[in-house]
Structure 1
Amino acid sequence: MAELSYFVEDFYEKVEELFIDYRTRLREDLKKCSSCLTASSSAIPSASNINATCEVRLPQISLPKCNGSYEKWQPFFDLFSSLIHNNSNLSPVQKLHYLKSCLQGEAHNVLQNLPITDANYSEAWLQLIRRYNNKRFNVNEVLKRLFAQRALHNESSTLIKDLLNTTSSCLKCLENMNISTASWDAIINFVVVSKLDTESKRMWELEVSRKEGICVVLVMF
């Protein structure tokens, strides 16, 4: 047995040395792979980063304009208050700069001589509120627009749509100023129908009569 090449050439020791050598190399390679995987995983964006990157960028909201018209004051007041006046990240001088950049016509003249400083913003805002945030004046302007709509002389679907849109807009403005219009159906019907052209009025009356007739038949049965 001792004469076998396995023992003579010490084959076992040689294999063991190779095994230890390869095992050591394998461990070193595994460490390198592990470090590479860690580096690459850190380069992969997390779910939160992906969500942040893929977040939809909404279009920038343009600041409203105010020209001194009472009917346009309320939309301006609401939007400017939300975007600028109540924004704690802006300084008073920044707010005043934005405010003056939004003013046109008569409203611009109200503040044109007021320097843009921190101390002047509160006074400028109060001046505009005293001038334009008058509920009685604003309601009067809306009612003027509602009742002074131009009468239609010819059939026109476009003009009828404009009539209805203006009427709806006026009613919405009144509701925003806490003026209840829930019981105004008869008044609004009269105003709108009175503005229609002759043929549209005739067709309206026929339609109303037809529906009332159907209602009467239903009641009878």
Structure 2
Amino acid sequence: MNLQLYRINQLRQNLEKAALAIEDDRSSYHYKTLLEALQKQCDKVEEGHFSICEEENILEHSYFQDEVFENLKTDYDSIIEQLYEKLQQHQPVHKASVKIPKIVIPILTGSYESWSSFYDLFLKIIHEDNSLTDTEKMQYLKTHVKDDAAKLIRHLTVCESNYATAWTLLKKRYENERMIITKHIDNILNIQKVKCGIIGKHTVVAPSNEHVRKTINTAEVGSACDAKQRIGAARRSDWLRDDATHATHANFAT
């Protein structure tokens, strides 16, 4: 425990030095050096924390009662984020002859419907970018999740060893094809009907094309057939209900 408290004290002192450096205009090399040093210290502190958690009769210690590690982690994440912002400010600006629209990675909110669009872009832009370190990828990941998704990886600090764990946790939770399809179908079936026009005596109802497309694209062959059957059944039900309503009105009129 004494070694862990010593490491925490050292990391906190360096966080305070980093905070002062952030207020000044230092070189990008200085900020990068600070980042690497803090991340190495954080790895040791986190390793020590998990070792202590395995000990018996330790939870009554003031280390846990005062949430020493959790408070340090909060300060650490804040400083790391500010250092990354400083580094980005020092990046050279290249003038391009053609303005290319910036690709915005969607935020993963914790809904299954938002997983596919988030996953595809984050995978190509961040995850598969070999020029980024795992620490940088972890920082990007933290800033692109919120609500339930953010809670899932909230306990993981921004450091190199945690990125693979965080990415795996999110994939295990949200890469669920059956649940994604079910959610899209539910949105199709529950969406407010929009009357597009009248053909004969039938009211034409416009479904959500976006949800239909995502449902069919997400599904495998067997699942796609099930999805089409559910959507088709719902449409036939609406058609027959409108048909019956029209017949009732016609009989009443005569």
Measured in 2, the distance between the counterparts of 1:178 and 1:130 equals 18
Task: Report if aligned partners of 1:135, 1:177 keep a CA contact under 8 Å in 2.
Answer: yes
Specify every segment of 5 or more residues in structure 1 that has no aligned partner in the other structure, as ranges.
1-51, 203-221
CA separation of 1:187/1:139 partners in 2, compared to 1, >3 Å: closer, same or farther? closer
Task: Report if aligned partners of 2:135, 2:160 keep a CA contact under 8 Å in 1.
Answer: yes
CA separation of 1:187/1:126 partners in 2, compared to 1, >3 Å: closer, same or farther? closer
Q: 1:58 aligns with which of 72, 86, 100?
A: 100
**1:98-121 deviation line (CA, Å, top 9, x unaligned):** 001000111011111210000000
Specify every segment of 5 or more residues in structure 2 that has no aligned partner in the other structure, as ranges.
1-93, 198-202, 247-254
Secondary structure of the corresponding residue to residue 103 of structure 1: coil
Q: CA RMSD in A?
A: 3.3
- Amino acid of the structure 2 residue aligned with 1:118: E
**1:142-178 deviation line (CA, Å, top 9, x unaligned):** 22112223346xx567xx99943x1x22232123324
Q: 2:218 aligns with which of 150, 170, 177?
A: 177
Q: 2:172 aligns with which of 120, 130, 142?
A: 130
- Amino acid of the structure 2 residue aligned with 1:78: D
CA separation of 1:162/1:56 partners in 2, compared to 1, >3 Å: closer, same or farther? farther
Using structure 2 for the length normalisation, give the TM-score.
0.48
Partner of 1:86: 128
Partner of 2:234: 191
Q: Please state if 1:147 is matched with 2:197.
A: no
Deviation at 1:188, TM superposition (A): 4.2
Using structure 1 for the length normalisation, give the TM-score.
0.54
Partner of 1:100: 142
Deviation at 1:60, TM superposition (A): 1.4
Q: Pick the structure with greater CA Rg.
A: 1
Secondary structure of the corresponding residue to residue 102 of structure 1: coil
Task: Report if aligned partners of 1:149, 1:163 keep a CA contact under 8 Å in 2.
Answer: no
Task: Report if aligned partners of 1:147, 1:191 keep a CA contact under 8 Å in 2.
Answer: yes
Partner of 2:115: 73
Measured in 1, the distance between the counterparts of 2:96 and 2:145 equals 37
Q: Paired residues, what number?
A: 144
Task: Report if aligned partners of 2:185, 2:212 keep a CA contact under 8 Å in 1.
Answer: no
Measured in 1, the distance between the counterparts of 2:233 and 2:107 equals 34
Secondary structure of the corresponding residue to residue 106 of structure 2: coil
Measured in 2, the distance between the counterparts of 1:162 and 1:83 equals 38
CA separation of 1:53/1:61 partners in 2, compared to 1, >3 Å: closer, same or farther? closer
- Amino acid of the structure 2 residue aligned with 1:174: T
Secondary structure of the corresponding residue to residue 127 of structure 1: helix
Measured in 2, the distance between the counterparts of 1:162 and 1:119 equals 51
Q: Please state if 1:115 is matched with 2:157.
A: yes
Measured in 1, the distance between the counterparts of 2:158 and 2:196 equals 50
Q: Percent identity?
A: 24
